[in-house]
Amino acid sequence: MFQFIYSLLIRLALPFILVRLWWQGRKAPALRQDWQHRLGLVPQLHGPVIWVHAVSVGETIAAGPMVRRLLARNLGATILMTAMTDTGLAQARKMFGDRVAYAYAPYDTPGGIRRFLNRVNPRILVIMETEIWPNMIRQCRHRRVPVFLINARLSERSARGYERVRGVAAPIIKSISWVAAQAEKDAERFRRIGVAPGNVEVTGSVKFDVDIPDDVRAASVSFRKSLGERPVWIAGSTHTGEDEQLLAAHRQILAQHADALLIIVPRHPERFDSVAEMAQGEGFSVVRRSTGASLAGAEVYLGDTMGELMMLYGASDLAFVGGSLIERGGHNPLEPAAWGIPVFSGTHVFNFETIYQRLLDDQGVQLVENADELARAICSLMDDPEALKAYGERALAVVNKNRGALDKVVEGITERL
């Protein structure tokens, strides 16, 4: 009955979802491309297929090292990467070119999932983190396609929600073949909501296994040289409500370090224009990366290209990770930490609770409440190169100390193929 009601509701909502997609495509035209994928009408694939689903950019980046390892093993299978967002697919294409196949994931209607599975016929489904879609998982189970949750996390709040509807959620939860959990508390919650104990394993977070490709390192070094000796700080993956605070912090930093440069990279491409206009409206000299213009005299550099955040982190002296000065839950602090630079975030980091705790335990990250606190902390490190270096080394040490989850995950996937 639950499955019937759920499927009915999502079918009824589908026309409105498609209209919303079209509307959003006004500012992000890529959303309108391959829209038929959302209905399961994807290009047909032949031979064994490993389906890797990552919702958006963050999950796609986290999946990158795993996909590279799977490709290196020459498993004789096509890897299909899917995402729900245009930015997620753009990130995947940036990382892998023509080495893997791509598609938007279908909306979770029975027909959409059925058409998708008929065309792809995957051998396994690997879902990054915790995306539990009832029709997707149910139909994979019926076709004997194992479903793996990789880098899985489950908050106490979410676990209680599943427990309240245990009777209807249990058949879906029990269909999950393997959960590679980030931490023991996540594993315990998955067991509580009905995943068989033998199907849950604590592997750690694969996000600690940050993989910086050689071409990204080379591009980062080259770009840094073009910036000269000026101090550079970056605000990555920013959201509405944060940019004003970050620009206010940068104004305070410029008062003490007149040649400082802020690189600001909004999380969503549709905000590139508005952030540029905001910075210009507040009197900053702004250069957009997409123009290729000279940075001479620039105070704010807008990262308005896709798939280059990792490279821009490497060209910076310090990093602020966005989505954290507002109640968004934060983004991955390990990307800048892997470059060995100091990392700052706001206090709203519940999406990466375990990762932030490990960084905090070893003083590899500093949480700030507002723009004033951020500006003071950044200026303090800009004034003390030795302290800046030591801070970055602590952040990198946390990354290196917690590596190893990726090996466990790749072994677990290949053993279960």
What is the set of active-site residues? 59
Helices 134-142 and 166-173 cross at an angle (nearest 10°) of 50
Contacts of 288 (CB under 8 A, 6+ apart): 272, 276, 301, 302, 304
Measured CA to CA, the distance from residue 249 to residue 247 in angstroms comes to 5
Contact 280, 299 (CB under 8 A): no
Measured CA to CA, the distance from residue 152 to residue 408 in angstroms comes to 13
Contacts of 414 (CB under 8 A, 6+ apart): 70, 73, 75
Measured CA to CA, the distance from residue 288 to residue 280 in angstroms comes to 11
CB contact burial 334-368 (16+ within 10 A = b; e otherwise) = bbbbbbbbbbbbbeebebbbbbbebbeeeebbbbb
Is the sign of the CA dihedral 326, 329, 334, 335 positive or negative?
A: negative
Measured CA to CA, the distance from residue 205 to residue 152 in angstroms comes to 8
Contact 371, 252 (CB under 8 A): yes
Contact 348, 323 (CB under 8 A): yes
Tell me the CA distances in angstroms from 14 to 8, 25, 103, 172, 274, one per residue in order. Answer: 10, 16, 19, 22, 30
Please give the torsion angle defined by the CA atoms of residues 145, 124, 169 and 7, in that order, rounded to the nearest 10 degrees.
Answer: -70
DSSP state string for 230-271: S-EEEEEEE-TTTHHHHHHHHHHHHHH-TT-EEEEEESSGGG
Q: Residue 36, SS3?
A: helix
